[in-house]
Structures are given as C-alpha cells and as structure tokens.
Amino acid sequence: MLQWRIKQQAGDNKDDNGSNSGSSSDTTVTTPDDKDTTETKNVTATTPSGEKVEATVTTTKDSNGNVTDASATVTSTKAELSTDVVAKVVEAAGTDQVTIKTAVTDANGKTQYTVTTTAKNLTENAKLKVVAVDQTTGEKTLVNAKTYKVNKDGSITFDLPAGADYELVSTAEAKTVEKAALKTVKVKKTSASVKAGKKTSIQLSSKLNMDNVKKVTYISGKKSVATVNKNGKITAKKKGTAYIKAKVGKKTYKCKVTVKSKKAPAKPAPTTP
C-alpha cells in the first residue's frame, strides 16, 4: 500500500506566464494493493448563519479514475447546511453522489448528534423527512411527522434531540420505512374474554415500532356490548360478542371480544330463628 500527501497553497502553482493559478488544498492519497485510490481533501465553506466550517471529503476511485465512493464530514455548532458547503463538497468529491454527514457540536466541541444526507437530496424546494438510525442494527425510525423543505437558496436547517444519529431522506424513502414497519403489525391476541363492567385492551405486536406509525384507529363493531377508546382500552358493557378493530394505515386487524355476564352476588346465608 502506498500513501502520499500533497499540500498546495495559493501561489505555489504557476501557469506558463508565471502567474498564480492554484488554490488552497490539502490532499492525502492512499493506493491499496488492488489499485483503487482513496483521496482525502479538506475544504472550507460558509454555513447559512455565516459560520466557517471545514469539511473532510473522502473519495475512492478505481484504476480508471472513476469515483466509486464519496463521503464528507462537516463539523458545525449549528444544524444547517448551505449551498456553499454542498457545492464545495461536490467539487472536491468530483461527483454529486456524495454522502454528507454533519456533526453538530456544543460550545465545547462535543458532538451532540449527527445528520447524514446526500448532496442530491439538497436541491431547491426538495421535501425531506428525518429518520433516526440504529448504528448497531441499521434499523431506521421516523422521528416526527415534520417535513423539512430545502430553501430556494439550497440551504436547510434542522433542530433535533441530542444523543442520536439521523438521516435526512426523501419522502419516498420515508414511506418505505413506514411500509416496512407496517409489515410487523399484528394483534397479540385475536380473542379475549371479559366480564361485563370490566376492562381489557387490544394490544399490537411488540415488534411494531410505534414511532413509524402515524396513527392507529380503534373501532368497536358493537358498542352496546363493548366500547374502545383511542388508546385501545376496551370496556365491557353487557353479555355478547363484539369485534374490536385496529386500523393501521390501510390494514385492519380484529380481536374478538366475548363479554360474560356479571356474576350474581351470593345470597346471604339463611338465619336460624
């Protein structure tokens, strides 16, 4: 494996007329045994709030010089990306197929959370969603119902809870996350028996991550026998059978509830004269 570092500053490069033509760059090139090359460049850009940030751009090229992978890491005290940041990252990477990770830090430089997206997502008026990513399992979870819109100038800001790794994804990808979650939906019990006047609940599978579900609607098929509230809590009214339905997305799941009569109070023992 070969590795070398090239550092150039403005004024180091001169053209045929002897004038300066270069710009600041700091590049590390690593050549693995398979002839692919990995280049690391540091570029400086300005965020929407005017903060100067440094982006570390890493690209991998095959033996023909084609970019096969590109990523960038930006460290900032504010959760924002600008056209200037994206443009300089894309230029350094040589492709718009580059993943950009923003590490949002506090005043002491400690990372609070990270947000990753692709340069192609950051186009004018693009609508994006935020998902949290489990770094162990890779599972993605919708964080909220909010849609983040890229401004006309190509900038975007976001404010998220600390302690997690996030991704800004297209609305289409967010729907894919939601559909995957809906495949895990099922009721724990398809039937239940309860006495009149008592309560029980309809429970969905513990495998279902409720953060990926916008809404669950509960409906009683026979309210005179059993009712159900918005949280799935069932109240038995009188003897009979009722189907309690849980509607998640476009699918409906049923639980058969059999209500038994209240037990008659025991008669007092006869007294002897």
Confidence at residue 251, expressed as pLDDT on a 0 to 100 scale: 77
Residues in contact with 49: Cβ distance below 8 Å, sequence separation at least 6, in sequence order: 78, 80
Phi then psi for 89, rounded to 5 degrees? -65, -45
What angle (nearest 5°) sits at the alpha carbon of residue 170, between those of residues 159 and 96? 95
pLDDT tens, residue by residue, 191-237? 999 999 999 998 877 666 666 666 788 999 999 999 999 989 999 99
Confidence at residue 24, expressed as pLDDT on a 0 to 100 scale: 45
Q: Residue 114 forms beta bridges with which residues?
A: 103, 165
Q: Greater confidence, 242 or 139?
A: 242
Burial 153-178 (b: 16+ CB within 10 A, else e): ebbbebebeeebbbbbbbeebbeebb
Q: Where are the beta strands (DSSP E) in the chain?
A: 2-8, 25-31, 37-46, 52-61, 67-76, 80-81, 99-105, 111-118, 127-133, 140-142, 148-149, 156-157, 165-170, 191-195, 199-201, 216-220, 226-228, 233-236, 240-248, 251-260
Q: Greater confidence, 213 or 16?
A: 213
What is the residue-averaged pLDDT of the chain? 82
Confidence at residue 159, expressed as pLDDT on a 0 to 100 scale: 85
pLDDT tens, residue by residue, 69-127? 999 999 999 889 888 999 999 999 999 999 999 999 998 999 999 999 999 888 888 99
| Cα-based distances in Å from 90 to 38, 55, 67, 77 | 16, 11, 12, 22
Helix (H, G, I), strand (E, B) or coil at 87: helix
Helix (H, G, I), strand (E, B) or coil at 7: strand
| Average pLDDT over every residue of 20-44 | 67
- Residue 72 tokens read as 């960038």
Do the Cβ atoms of 185 and 208 come closer than 8 Å?
yes
Q: Greater confidence, 224 or 185?
A: 224
Separation CA 80–CA 57 (nearest Å) = 18
Separation CA 172–CA 174 (nearest Å) = 5
Confidence at residue 212, expressed as pLDDT on a 0 to 100 scale: 62
pLDDT tens, residue by residue, 37-73? 999 999 999 988 888 999 999 999 988 889 999 999 9
Confidence at residue 180, expressed as pLDDT on a 0 to 100 scale: 76
**DSSP letter (8 states) at residue 270:** P
Residues in contact with 140: Cβ distance below 8 Å, sequence separation at least 6, in sequence order: 131, 132, 133, 134, 167, 169, 177
